[in-house]
Structure formats: C-alpha cells, structure tokens
Amino acid sequence: MGTFANFDRVLRPATHVIFIEGRGDFPQTAGALWPAFWNHFPAIGREAVTQTLGLSGMEPGKSGDEAKIYQAGVVLKSPMQLPPGFRERTIPEGQYASFLLRGTYAKIGTAFADAFQLLADRRVRLRPEFCIEHYLNSPAQVPEDKLLTEILLPIEMQ
C-alpha cells in the first residue's frame, strides 16, 4: 500500500501567488529554490504571508527535466511591490484531489507518485494545471515528524 489510502475532493478558489521559478528535476530544483526564495523574502516579511505553496508542472511540447517547472511561492494578505526576480500569477479556481502528508519533506516525491497512482487506479482524470504543495506548517514551528503538507493534484470536476 502506498502513502495514501484515500483523498478528498476540494474546490480551491482563484489564488494570487508571488514566486520564483526554476526548471529541472523537481526535488533538486525545489531544494535550491526555497532557500533562494526565503533569502530574498525579508523585503516582504513573513507576517504578510497567508499560504506557502510549491507549484509543479510540465511545459507542453517538451520532455524530460527541461519540461519540469517548479515555482516556490506564497500568497500574501494584500498586494505589494515585488522584490527583483519575483513573478506573480493567479492559479484559477478548480477542483483538486487533496492528500495530507505527515512528516519530512523528503517524502514529497514519493507522496506525489503514490497520489498519482491512486488517482490512476480510481480512473480520476487530471486537468491541465500545476500541482500544489501547500505547506501547512514549517520546520521553524514544529519538529520534522510533525510537518504537514497538503498535496493537491488538479482533477476534472465530477
């Protein structure tokens, strides 16, 4: 049995995200982007953040690591001027399969693979949007074994 036995269907509202982007192997790219993100983030301040999100997707027409896009970002309480190198976009409203991962971030790759497999086994159709890692807490707040990450895969409405 994989990481997850089941999932919840959730409707996420349109969400405005500021982020930095990298390309390549997801674990390596995410591992490099998050420290870079937080190093440039003091200009904004963590108190302005309502959600911390990792977004991953594939560029159509490309394959392999060059097609993999990772965006390390946050949702802010209110709009503000972006620091240099940051971008912004709105994730459209949509339905997602939601999975709760407990523990170390090192398990995120396996969690995504298991989540995709569970959806395939249940014949749930994906839709073309980025997947989301919604970090519900952080290593600054809790021990590693208490970390909570919501894994969200974009699915078609049922």
If one compares 83 and 19, the residue with the highest pLDDT of the two is: 19
Count Cβ atoms within 10 A of the Cβ of residue 29 and give its class: 0-12 exposed, 13-18 middle, 19 or more buried: buried
Q: Which helix (H) or strand (E) holds 131?
A: strand 131-135
pLDDT digit string, tens, across residues 117-132? 999 999 999 999 999 9
Q: How far, in Å, CA of 31 to CA of 76, rounded?
A: 22
May I ask the CATH architecture of the domain 8-154?
Answer: Alpha-Beta Barrel (3.20)
Contact status, residue 115 vs residue 154, Cβ threshold 8 Å: no
Looking at residue 41, its pLDDT comes to: 73
Looking at residue 1, its pLDDT comes to: 55
- Between the two ends of the chain, the Cα-to-Cα distance in Å is 26
pLDDT digit string, tens, across residues 56-99? 999 999 999 899 999 999 999 888 888 888 999 999 999 999 99
48 residue type, one letter = A
Q: Provide the whole-model pTM.
A: 0.93
